């Protein structure tokens, strides 16, 4: 049954054309397939992930036995329902990322090809873009990477889309590309996957870099692996800052190319050769260079590390398939808020009493007073203050998305904490930093 209706279900638009599923239903089916089955290098689904369990009526189901069938109805149409729960707690990190990316690309190849063409044309114009897309020289390969990286960097650094009607708690690379194409965006761990997803298709060699603020090294690989196996994140803040941020290191014609296309007030990094290597190794005095980043009211030093690829890959897989509060952690514990740009920061305020709200209000008003920022702090979810009105005037579509995130975010927060929360917003007008791009051969 699983092979027929899940693994081998048609993966093109036939199910939509026949009315068997909606577009959203087909996307959900594909996501479920990728959480149940491994892929080979061509993207074909193969065996079930080791450690996966299937439950019926709360008990482990034997896959060799007939499934339990229940009677149901859709309106006046009688149905036979097979209710199966997929239990992934003991599943391993054995995703084939090559096959996963190939499979996701093949789902909608024309869409992703158009995204690449549009990004390159926007960066270089129609004539030069045709030459760049041939990728027949190292220089053209770098130009392709740069065009895609700029397209991703210029998209919103945001969490608001997690709380839309179609929102995902954490997006894989292809899902982030689609979100960017819809004029939204993602956070660093999503944007870096989007860029790798696009360039993996053209077999451009790359690896994930990890790092974060005030994380010069040594990189705590064993401790991070332990956390990914146990999901015990207590007393681990000093270690987790080493995977708070992600970027990519390409190898083009044997030369390193460090690319950070994530934004969130991190400069656009496109560094070749020695400039890339300098950020990835300690100097003669044992110190590692960093990139200064203006994060709301404070400037932080961001460091980058080359790492064994199982750590970032397993981290992304865990965020996608295991950690059911990943969306809320990014917004509240990592304090990324709903939206962060060079000019604005939008943070939701969830509270159950006037006293709780006043405490949050005082915190943000004092922070902004000390930093010289203007701020609206509202007990209601609106953009009615002067700063909110400025944001809405410049980008009304963004304002609409921020306002639309309220209901789902409050419901998620009530699940995370306890029921009965009310919601407000802090909208801060930031001071633009001096530089937003760092390119070339020396940082």
Residues 420 and 414: beta-carbon distance below 8 Å: yes
Q: Which helix (H) or strand (E) holds 17?
A: helix 14-17
For residue 13, pLDDT beyond 90: no
Distance in angstroms (rounded) separating the CA atoms of residues 404 and 339: 13
Predicted pLDDT at 283: 84
In degrees, rounded to 5, the angle at the alpha carbon of residue 274 between the alpha carbons of residues 270 and 277 is: 80
User: What residues pair up with 214 in beta bridges, in sequence order?
Assistant: none
pLDDT tens-digit series, residues 321-363: 888 999 999 999 999 999 999 999 999 999 999 999 999 999 9
Share of the chain above pLDDT 90, in %: 71
Confidence of residue 166 (pLDDT cuts 50, 70, 90): confident
Residue 383: HSE in the Cβ half-sphere, 13 Å Cα cutoff: 26
Predicted pLDDT at 63: 73
Bigger pLDDT: 194 or 9?
194
Distance in angstroms (rounded) separating the CA atoms of residues 351 and 292: 33
Counting other chains too, the contacts that 180-185 makes at CB distance below 8 Å and 24 or more residues apart are 180/151, 180/152, 180/155, 181/111, 181/115, 183/155, 183/156, 183/397, 184/155, 184/156, 184/158, 184/160, 184/401, 185/155, 185/156, 185/157, 185/158, 185/161, 185/263
Residue 142: HSE in the Cβ half-sphere, 13 Å Cα cutoff: 18
Predicted pLDDT at 227: 94
The pair phi, psi for residue 249, each rounded to 5°, is: -120, 115
Predicted pLDDT at 385: 98
The pair phi, psi for residue 159, each rounded to 5°, is: -120, -5
Residues 266 and 259: beta-carbon distance below 8 Å: no
Question: How many Cβ atoms sit within 10 Å of the Cβ of residue 188?
Answer: 21
Q: Which of 207, 216, 295 lies closest to 252, judged by CA?
A: 207
Residue that is written with structure tokens 């479920």 in the block: 32
Q: Which helix (H) or strand (E) holds 34?
A: helix 23-36
Q: Average the pLDDT over each of 34-38, 156-160, 188-192 and give the range with the smallest value.
A: 34-38
Distance in angstroms (rounded) separating the CA atoms of residues 150 and 259: 10
Residues 260 and 267: beta-carbon distance below 8 Å: yes
Bigger pLDDT: 405 or 165?
405
Confidence of residue 17 (pLDDT cuts 50, 70, 90): confident
Question: How many Cβ atoms sit within 10 Å of the Cβ of residue 372?
Answer: 8
For residue 14, pLDDT beyond 80: no
Residues 245 and 266: beta-carbon distance below 8 Å: yes
Predicted pLDDT at 442: 42
Predicted pLDDT at 443: 36
Predicted pLDDT at 436: 59
Length of the chain: 443
pLDDT tens-digit series, residues 213-272: 999 989 999 999 999 999 898 878 899 999 999 999 999 999 999 999 999 889 999 999
Distance in angstroms (rounded) separating the CA atoms of residues 383 and 377: 10
Q: Average the pLDDT over each of 59-68, 109-118, 154-163, 401-410 and give the range with the smallest value.
A: 59-68
Handedness of CA 19, 24, 27, 32 (dihedral sign): negative
- Quickly list DSSP for 74-126: ETTEEEEE---EEE-TT--S---HHHHHHHHHHHTHHHHHHHHHHHHHHHH-H
Distance in angstroms (rounded) separating the CA atoms of residues 203 and 77: 49
Q: Is 19 left (phi over 0), alpha (psi -120 to 50) or beta?
A: left
For residue 165, pLDDT beyond 80: no
Distance in angstroms (rounded) separating the CA atoms of residues 258 and 199: 14
Distance in angstroms (rounded) separating the CA atoms of residues 283 and 421: 50
Confidence of residue 294 (pLDDT cuts 50, 70, 90): confident
| Whole-structure pTM value | 0.91
Share of the chain above pLDDT 70, in %: 97
Q: Tell me 443's DSSP state.
A: -
Predicted pLDDT at 441: 54
Residue that is written with structure tokens 């070749």 in the block: 272
Q: Is 200 left (phi over 0), alpha (psi -120 to 50) or beta?
A: alpha
For residue 157, pLDDT beyond 70: yes
Catalogue all structural domains in the chain, each as residue range(s) with its CATH number. 2-87 (no CATH), 97-332 (3.30.2140), 341-429 (no CATH)
Residues 251 and 260: beta-carbon distance below 8 Å: no
Q: What is the mean pLDDT of residues 160-189?
A: 94
Predicted pLDDT at 419: 97
Predicted pLDDT at 432: 64
Q: Average the pLDDT over each of 60-69, 173-182, 339-348 and give the range with the smallest value.
A: 60-69
């Amino acid at each position: 049954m699983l092979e027929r209706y899940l693994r081998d279900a048609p993966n093109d638009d036939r199910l939509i054309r026949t009315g068997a599923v909606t577009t959203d239903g087909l996307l959900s089916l594909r996501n479920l397939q990728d959480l149940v089955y491994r892929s080979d290098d061509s993207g074909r689904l193969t065996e079930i992930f080791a450690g996966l369990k299937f439950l019926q009526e709360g008990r482990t189901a034997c896959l060799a036995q007939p499934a339990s069938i229940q009677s149901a109805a859709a309106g006046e149409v009688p149905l036979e329902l097979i209710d199966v729960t997929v239990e992934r707690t003991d599943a391993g990190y054995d995703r084939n990322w090559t096959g996963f990316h190939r499979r996701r690309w093949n789902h909608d190849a024309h869409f992703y090809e158009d995204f690449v063409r549009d990004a390159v044309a926007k960066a270089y114009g129609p004539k030069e873009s045709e030459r760049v897309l041939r990728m027949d020289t190292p220089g053209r390969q770098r130009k392709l990477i740069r065009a895609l990286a700029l397209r991703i960097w210029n998209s919103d650094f945001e969490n608001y889309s997690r709380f839309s009607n179609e929102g995902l708690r954490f997006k894989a690379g292809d899902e982030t590309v689609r979100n960017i194409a819809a004029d939204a965006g993602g956070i660093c761990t999503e944007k870096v996957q989007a860029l790798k997803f696009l360039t993996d298709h053209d077999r451009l060699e790359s690896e994930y870099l990890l790092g974060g603020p005030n994380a010069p090294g040594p990189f705590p690989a064993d401790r991070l692996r332990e956390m990914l196996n146990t999901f015990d994140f207590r007393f681990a803040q000093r270690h987790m800052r080493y995977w708070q941020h992600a970027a990519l290191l390409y190898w083009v014609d044997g030369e390193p190319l460090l690319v950070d296309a994530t934004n969130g007030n991190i400069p656009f990094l496109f560094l070749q050769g020695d400039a890339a290597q300098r950020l990835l190794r300690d100097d003669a005095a044992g110190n590692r260079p960093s990139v200064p980043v203006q994060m709301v009211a404070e400037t932080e030093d961001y460091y980058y590390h080359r790492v064994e690829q199982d750590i970032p890959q397993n981290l992304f897989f865990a965020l996608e398939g295991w950690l059911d509060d990943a969306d809320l952690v990014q917004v509240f514990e990592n304090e990324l808020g709903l939206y962060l740009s060079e000019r604005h920061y939008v943070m939701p305020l969830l509270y159950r009493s006037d006293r709780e709200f006043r405490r949050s209000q005082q915190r943000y008003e004092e922070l902004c007073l000390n930093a010289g920022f203007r701020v609206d702090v509202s007990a209601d979810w609106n953009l009615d203050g002067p700063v909110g009105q400025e944001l809405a005037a410049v980008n009304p579509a963004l304002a609409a998305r921020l306002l639309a995130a309220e209901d789902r975010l409050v419901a998620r927060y009530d699940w995370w904490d306890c029921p009965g929360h009310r919601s407000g917003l802090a909208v801060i007008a930031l001071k633009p930093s001096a530089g937003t791009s760092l390119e070339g051969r020396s940082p």
